[in-house]
Chain A
């Protein structure tokens, strides 16, 4: 038996109100191996920790059991406490008598019985705890940022500022993302491009940052500090070294297709840059539409290119690089409106989405910045803005709030009044949500100063009525029916996770919520980390958010990356799986269930009598193993054990709890 000390915590009234602490202490004193037991109002306090250290010294304790809250909360605290008194930190065992006992029970007598059983279990396990030691892992001092929108740009800049090399991977031919599509930004009405493009240029000029545009992450392997990532750079058909970005090819290309950047409101060529301020400002050939690639003739761009930069023979390039940390910043997609036939989107040219309206506002957009009705090219007078299209709609959209629509619609209403004298915005809303610095004031201006009429009521249907559109709703405040004849309808469509987010999550071994937004490790206290160490989140790929929030999260992710890459080495978690090669039969059931790819085959050479035999056994990569324990369950001969949670320890716990 090991000389064990038991420390029972009241956690104020959290535990003490439901568990009779005196009884528990008395019971603990009688448990096998226990030479000391005491209680404390707050064991995690400095006084409580000192009690543990003092008892280790005076009672020569070899094992420590703290009966308190979940190990998620204070296991680290107490590991450090026992280490400070000279014990191996893994000689500590926690009995969770709060979350798993006092918080979920009402009857004091039975809760006390259960608490005592949990303590007995922990004491039995602690006696079999072995000293474990973390090993050191090297760190690759290079970061990967996936996604070149404002989140990725900000994260890359901040990581580079901290002195680390960054690779920025962007799917489109240019970085810039959604923010590049916006005209003005709320609540200050600065021009979006005016504040974004300096950052894009900064990225391009940074010696620490390399942009991989027109590229996507193909494969991710490895672990924190040592990821191995393969990036596919799609064939651009343009030699980036030779191209000067003069744009002659884009003028002469005979193929016109819908511009993705302008949401199909205008055409682009088959060889194109998405927008005038593109970074890198060098075009790519869209092979699906290029006449040379589809019909085998044309080659006009090659003829007009003064630099000889067109290269039809280019192929996709695969590049594998090691990274210490990854920031995911892949952004969002505006919700597709297939489910919303009642709003006549796609049936009448004057029904637009908010992002399409944004392009009408923009000087580089299809109308040169004039708000004109797509149907007749004339400015609209009455415009209906419909909020929550596909948001707060659990029946056929997203149940969540897209968070940005209230504010950008207020902005649209203001810009409409500024650009079209005499125009009248009508905003149909369910609630108006403006939490943010200067946001409420901005919204106030929309109706008070600019005269936007806010109507509390979801629009039921938009009826195309010749040139006009008839909007039917109710003003829920007054109870009056609303029937408006308008010239344009703008739909504030919801924020969806980016198409392909789920697949990327699988590549990265990170999780998503029900709507494919990436999960943070903790909604309040670890908002930029994922559950996979070394992978961080920034921007709307984690959930709808506006630009200030996105930039703040990107900078936060960058700090986390810098803190990680700034370390000399990483301490590995020593509670990993271990193979007993004598027992291992080499049937590799463990390999099949390991979610982290931490198990591989190994050939052993053994002397058996006079001959040497080769035998297959499993091997655990300690750096990859996350200590989940799936392999220990799958292993039929019981040859694989999780250190700190060995079969022997678990059985001792079972035995103790069954007493």
Chain B
């Protein structure tokens, strides 16, 4: 949603269809081609770019609903406050931590399980179907369920399991809230990684694998030199899509921990929500929005380059 619009990333042409000729099109032809695109483009521009411009505008104002609404410009003091706000920086670190750890964990679990599910064994189809279920179940619903039926030290399944093996039950949500949140997110997104990894494994060149097997290469060598290089674009794509979703995590935080305890699980999205709709400080929340926008663009540009790289590699094949 932003100014990265015309990022100078993709010097490559759209693969496949007569892109080069597009350069030499007549003015009329260019507009004819743009026609079908315009409704979607205009809609997206209005819905995603105007709010950001307005956010910048709001961020320069003193605007707290509790102390009487909009009270004119305050010369950037919202930004000074944002930079001096330790909770904001903590939430920025949490955002990266939550998205980073949950993405990596999802991909590792997804890849391992995909490798098992890619070989034939009895009931494989059923196993795969069961495994992908968490990705489709309603996040708000499963989060509320995990909160009481899994994480609760007395009623929860985890508490029961640790008691059964003679360990004390852990109060996950008060003692290890960040770990609990990451466990929940990994459980939700590992099936998504699994789906992408399965697609990758299904297109592994079998002749290479067999040749390596004949040459006596073990499982680890085959994994390192055949599987991993082949899966690289799939892993990159999965990482990108997962990170994209996970930096926006909101519902799981709101309903599992409410960002707590002591902002321990508050990410940027949730902190802006708290500033805006709990403290009703629209001015300072907007400033936080602008800062997080700038931070995100700094993170997104490399990500877009990566994606563009995947496309270029595909074009060369």
- Asked if chains A and B come from one complex, the reply is no
Interface residues, chain B, with chain A CB atoms under 8 Å away: none
Interface residues, chain A, with chain B CB atoms under 8 Å away: none
